Each structure stands twice: as C-alpha cells, then as structure tokens.
Amino acid sequence: MSTAAIISVLLALYYLYSQIGALPLAMILGTIGGVGLSILLGTALMGLAFLSSASGQDEDVAEFEKEK
C-alpha cells in the first residue's frame, strides 16, 4: 500500500518537474500530501469494502431490506 503511494508521488513529482522545471517546496509538499494520502486513503477504503463483503455484513443488510 505504501509502496504504491511512494511510486505515485515520485511519478507525479517527475511529471511536474518535467512540465514546470524547478518546483517550490510548497508544491512538493502539497503533491506528497495530496497524491500520497489520496492513494493511501483509497486503498484503505477499498480494503474495508472487501473486508465488509467477506464478513457477511452485506448479506444481513440485504435480508433486512427484503423483510420490510
């Protein structure tokens, strides 16, 4: 999970450097925070969705809605 975030951040920084040139510190930190945390949050939420599906919680909700 963190490896994908690091690779994504490095690719984003490389792209920005190739388009703009020297990057200000604020842009580097913003890119690290924005891209890195987005990847980490996305993978964590996807993992929770798979965990919820595998635990049987989703079937309980589906049965509850059928009873109404």
pLDDT tens for the chain, 68 residues long, are 899 999 999 999 999 999 999 999 999 999 999 999 999 999 999 998 888 877 776 677 667 666 66
User: What is the pTM for the complete model shown?
Assistant: 0.72
**CB-neighbour burial class of residue 13 (10 A; exposed 0-12, middle 13-18, buried 19+):** middle
Q: What local confidence, expressed as pLDDT, does residue 65 receive?
A: 64
User: Number of structural domains, the chain?
Assistant: 1
Range of the domain at 56: 2-67
CB atoms within 10 A of CB 35: 18
Cβ atoms of residues 9 and 36 within 8 Å: yes
Q: What local confidence, expressed as pLDDT, does residue 28 receive?
A: 96
Rounded-to-10 torsion of CA 46, 51, 52, 57: 170
Q: What local confidence, expressed as pLDDT, does residue 16 receive?
A: 96
Q: What local confidence, expressed as pLDDT, does residue 46 receive?
A: 93
